[in-house]
């Protein structure tokens, strides 16, 4: 019998090296997403921003993905030109948008003709926020494109192997970026007395991430060549009409709805968390950022372990339900515990609860998508999920900024805001996610998608 060709992905050292290359860029990208999140109060006092301005800026990351349907096109592009080429495109887009955002908040922008022109329209929105939002929009296209590309790349390299574990490790590394930036950003800004310096630092890291994607390109090209030599049947090509299959699949839409509700209570919360802790605990910007920085640590440690459990034991739908319950508990603590009892211990406890929740849901959610759709439009399936997710991620920072402004009309100091209403909004999203989790488990039991089954085939 002819010996079967050993593929690159069959060699553990190679496929895990590939994972590190992909995850490194996502680590730097997650840092850039939240590089200004710990600095909300400094942007208000130093750049003349308001909660509404900050909320609109935070939402801008997702604007083109939603209204220009960029994420949908990104998924189609991914399925058409493949993982390695799409990775390079996404990396270049991220670096370009990041450079614009850096310039917008740098001292070099102040007093320029561009700033003067930008101040001639929509005068309530500062010029620095306008240009920073433009850069964030462009960066947002790249980072979301990279997200679906990395997801499909991991499926490609870990199919029928340690898929959930690999996805869990990638998410853990990416979340370490959130911890790092909440620790580093306020300190760099304080050391240099300049909000733009942490943005520059992470921009340099994004260039390093682009080099990682370039290196991945050659690994992936070699694997493709081997697949051809082995005589694997090529996948049926993606057709645009396949999008209709996704939008008419009840179970897929339930997963997408759960995703948008859950993540809308996580990522927009990250934008406001440091300022919320400043206000509730009456502490400095750096101290508040340090406390919140521990949020991704629990997720970073637990997600790979939960991924390994899912690979061998299953129970993805159950994990989605439990994760939603824990998120509700966290936001209710932040919303309703009286000021007299809201100590740093309580804050840390709530953040730990949220970290466990943020381990359960993503660890179960993303490896479940390949069980619901055919592989030929997997990239587009991820892009549709991300697109629906982006709608919530775009709307809720604006809603939170608006609610913060409306409920604090008489408050001039950004360190004295009342965050009760915003936190109740986040908790309500958890309730809806919990309901969809119950529905998803019922659908899986009825139709046998295998969401509760292990990923590793014996």
In a domain, 455, yes or no: no
Residue 425 to residue 406: CA distance in whole angstroms: 14
Average pLDDT for consecutive 10-residue bins of the chain (458 residues)? Answer: 65 86 94 91 85 90 86 77 88 96 91 88 87 94 88 82 80 86 92 92 95 90 73 51 77 88 91 91 90 82 76 80 92 93 93 87 77 72 80 91 90 87 94 92 81 68
Closest CA to 155 of 367, 7, 313, 306: 367
Q: What is the CATH number of the domain that holds 34?
A: 1.20.1250.20
Per-residue confidence (pLDDT) for residue 414, from 0 to 100: 82
Contact 277, 284 (CB under 8 A): no
Cβ-count burial 83-93 (b if 16+ within 10 Å, e if not) = bbbbbbbbbeb
In a domain, 421, yes or no: yes
In a domain, 457, yes or no: no
Task: Count the neighbouring beta carbons within 10 Å of the beta carbon of residue 99.
Answer: 18
Q: Which two three-digit tokens encode residue 202?
A: 């992470």
Q: Which two three-digit tokens encode residue 244?
A: 């209709």
pTM over 0.85: no
Per-residue confidence (pLDDT) for residue 456, from 0 to 100: 66
Per-residue confidence (pLDDT) for residue 151, from 0 to 100: 83
In a domain, 273, yes or no: yes
In a domain, 256, yes or no: yes
Contact 137, 149 (CB under 8 A): no
Which segments of 159-241 does DSSP mark as H helices, in order?
163-192, 196-230
Contact 163, 15 (CB under 8 A): no
Per-residue confidence (pLDDT) for residue 1, from 0 to 100: 40
Per-residue confidence (pLDDT) for residue 328, from 0 to 100: 95
Host domain of residue 190: 12-447
Contacts of 169 (CB under 8 A, 6+ apart): 19, 23, 303, 304, 307
Residue 314 to residue 290: CA distance in whole angstroms: 35
Contact 174, 24 (CB under 8 A): no
In a domain, 2, yes or no: no
Distance of CA 355 to the CA centre of its chain: 14
In a domain, 285, yes or no: yes
Per-residue confidence (pLDDT) for residue 272, from 0 to 100: 92
Per-residue confidence (pLDDT) for residue 358, from 0 to 100: 84
Domains identified in the chain, total number? 1
In a domain, 4, yes or no: no
Closest CA to 22 of 145, 147, 204: 147
> What is the SS3 assignment for 458?
coil
Per-residue confidence (pLDDT) for residue 312, from 0 to 100: 78
Per-residue confidence (pLDDT) for residue 231, from 0 to 100: 46
């Amino acid at each position: 019998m002819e010996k079967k060709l050993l593929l690159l992905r069959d060699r553990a050292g190679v496929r895990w090296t590939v994972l590190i290359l992909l995850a490194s860029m996502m680590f730097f990208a997650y840092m850039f997403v939240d590089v200004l999140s710990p600095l909300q109060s400094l942007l208000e006092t130093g750049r003349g921003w308001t909660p509404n301005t900050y909320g609109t800026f935070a939402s801008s990351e997702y604007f083109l993905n939603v209204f220009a349907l960029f994420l949908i096109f990104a998924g189609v592009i991914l399925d058409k030109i493949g993982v390695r080429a799409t990775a390079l495109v996404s990396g270049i887009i991220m670096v370009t948008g990041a450079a614009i955002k850096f310039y917008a908040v740098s001292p070099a922008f102040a007093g320029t003709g561009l700033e003067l022109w930008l101040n001639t329209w929509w005068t309530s929105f500062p010029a620095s926020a306008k240009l920073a939002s433009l850069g964030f929009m462009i960066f947002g296209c790249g980072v979301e494109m990279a997200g679906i590309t990395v997801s499909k790349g991991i499926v490609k390299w870990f199919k029928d192997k340690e898929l959930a574990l690999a996805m869990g490790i990638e998410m853990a590394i990416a979340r370490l970026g959130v911890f790092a930036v909440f620790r580093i950003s306020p300190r760099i800004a304080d050391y240099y007395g300049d909000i733009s310096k942490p943005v520059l630092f992470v921009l340099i890291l994004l260039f390093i991430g682009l080099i990682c994607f370039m290196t991945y390109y050659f690994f992936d090209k070699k694997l493709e060549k081997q697949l051809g030599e082995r005589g694997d049947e090529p996948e049926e090509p993606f057709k645009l009409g396949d999008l209709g299959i996704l939008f008419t699949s009840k179970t897929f839409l339930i997963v997408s709805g759960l995703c948008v509700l859950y993540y809308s209570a996580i990522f927009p919360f990250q934008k406001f968390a440091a300022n919320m802790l400043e206000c509730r605990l009456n502490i400095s910007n750096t101290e508040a950022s340090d406390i919140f920085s521990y949020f991704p640590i629990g997720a970073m440690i637990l997600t790979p372990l939960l991924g390994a459990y899912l690979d061998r034991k299953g129970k993805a739908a159950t994990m989605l339900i439990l994760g939603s319950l824990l998120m509700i508990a966290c936001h209710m603590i932040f919303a309703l515990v009286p000021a007299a009892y809201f100590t740093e211990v309580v804050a840390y406890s709530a953040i730990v609860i949220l970290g466990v929740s943020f381990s359960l849901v993503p660890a179960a959610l993303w490896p479940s998508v390949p069980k619901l759709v055919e592989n030929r439009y997997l990239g587009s399936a991820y892009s549709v999920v991300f697109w629906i997710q982006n709608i919530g991620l775009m709307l809720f920072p604006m809603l939170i900024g608006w609610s913060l402004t409306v409920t604090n009309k008489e408050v001039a100091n950004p360190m004295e805001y009342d965050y009760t209403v915003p936190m109740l909004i986040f908790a309500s999203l958890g309730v809806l996610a919990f309901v969809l989790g119950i529905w998803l488990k019922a659908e899986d039991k009825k139709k046998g998608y295998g969401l509760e089954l292990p990923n590793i085939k014996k």
